[in-house]
Structure 1
């Protein structure tokens, strides 16, 4: 038991880079689609259809014994366990599927998203009550701690731009119904960060770089995406999982030590429980070992989603990339070429720019 505890503590501290993710990321209406990929088709549980499709679209979809139909026309056979071929269904509904192999991204784009921004009428998001959302409250507490170290900065024009653009970008995100707070803090370090859903701060240093509205929209979209995808809380979730694993291990270990070794039926049950704990431990171990790589993937995901939010809000698609280039030039001017080396948690700027360019190119095919 002592060895296991030591191993877990070592794993907790050993956030070293491991294997990178290999699976493609599938997105439908800004939401990552989780499912099984078989033969180029993405299959999901039929109960998950309502997570991605609108009520009017769902009324056109019908799941039969061995296949699914859209407008009474076949949209493909069901997969193992009755899973629905979501790519085929989306195409029947008029969606466009765009695969970007270089970026590892597949966009499932609804017909409305293909309409130019100038002609599109955005729907108002359903109002969400932050007081009833635990992570919203946690994010508020974290923002309060930030403000204890970085004091608010009084600049009416900077503040107006941050709040106006931030609201536009947040409104088109899946959490547009929340009250989002965009704050300006006093430090000359150019930066922006999200403490969790609903709370973003921007530094005086970033605004004094002379960022344009499009660049600011790209940055704020990136931070809103972090909040939407729960990136600030992923490490906390993992630590809570680890804590529960230790508790469960101690409970089963106590049962093993107290068990009657002649009662084979009880021993079989305890072995099964220990096997489940070992399986959970391997999963947590893998995620801990790859924490740095996951953090980089989070940044890349926030880049892509943030760019989408900015575009939906009416800003140009190149804003975030332009701001990243400005930041890189400023850092090189201050600290030399060494800053171009990979950051522990952020992908190299060059890689981020290439991914954004790949995604933009796929939009214009």
Structure 2
């Protein structure tokens, strides 16, 4: 897991048998999405990876922190419209300030996150962000982008399925990442930031706390990669975008 909040890709490479779909409009995002697979097609492999994570990672039993993530998570889940049941929030004993979500309503939060998250409003910003990835169907869209990029390179190079990974490495895999995949991931993160703020407001939390999270994160970060080579907007970009969005919505 990286230092930044991220859409987890656990299990996305294990897509065999996934249901094929196409382009559809996501009302939450207000845009059309290219989907070769749907969320349901990802859940089996994602949940298998989640179970493996639970077996191999150290889980924190800290009663105060666990109560906080369960309480805040329940309020954000209720505000999401996805139903308050079925969500699982697990606190991992890991010093990196990170959180992630995988298909199946599984949310992981590191103890290290509480180095930058000081209040429940700030915690709601993080959990709202991760919940927004589910509303945005970002896991399915990201997987579809990866599948499409690999398929295009396979056709262009005449590679067999067994050699497609070698072909990607030899014939422009970096170009595909920088030019196609990573910018979309940054878009997902920006969308999740905005939707997460809306969820915070609906759940009765203070939306401007999302700005505070990234100000705290920026103070923690050092040696971060250039934004164009990152799967996430820079902290400064996120702060400015959140400030603009919160002001436009009239949030406090």
TM-score using structure 2 length = 0.69
Q: 2 CA distance for matches of 1:225 and 1:298?
A: 9
290 and 346 in structure 1: CA distance in 2 versus 1, 3 angstrom threshold: same
SS at match of 2:224: helix
Contact 1:215 1:320 (8 Å CA) reproduced: yes
Shift of 1:321: 1.3
* More displaced 10-residue stretch of structure 1: 225-234 or 238-247: 238-247
Higher Cα Rg, which structure: 1
Match of 1:184 in 2: 91
Matches within 5 A, 1:268-347: 289-331=179-221, 335=222, 338-339=223-224, 341-342=226-227, 344-347=230-233
Q: Say which structure, 1 or 2, has more relative contact order (CA 8 Å, 6+ apart).
A: 2
Can you give the 5+ residue segments of structure 1 that lack an aligned partner in the other structure?
1-25, 36-131, 250-284
Contact 1:139 1:198 (8 Å CA) reproduced: no
246 and 321 in structure 1: CA distance in 2 versus 1, 3 angstrom threshold: closer
Contact 1:142 1:195 (8 Å CA) reproduced: no
Q: 2 CA distance for matches of 1:32 and 1:159?
A: 31
Match of 2:128 in 1: 221
Shift of 1:301: 0.4
SS at match of 2:80: coil
Shift of 1:245: 7.3
Q: 2 CA distance for matches of 1:247 and 1:350?
A: 37
Root mean square deviation, CA, Å: 3.1
Match of 2:22 in 1: none
245 and 325 in structure 1: CA distance in 2 versus 1, 3 angstrom threshold: closer
Q: 2 CA distance for matches of 1:186 and 1:327?
A: 19
**Higher strand proportion (structure 1 or 2):** 1
1:120-154 deviation digits (Å, cap 9, x = unpaired): xxxxxxxxxxxx94444343223223334432111
Contact 2:74 2:84 (8 Å CA) reproduced: no
SS at match of 1:182: strand
TM-score using structure 1 length = 0.49
Q: 2 CA distance for matches of 1:299 and 1:155?
A: 29
Match of 2:113 in 1: 206
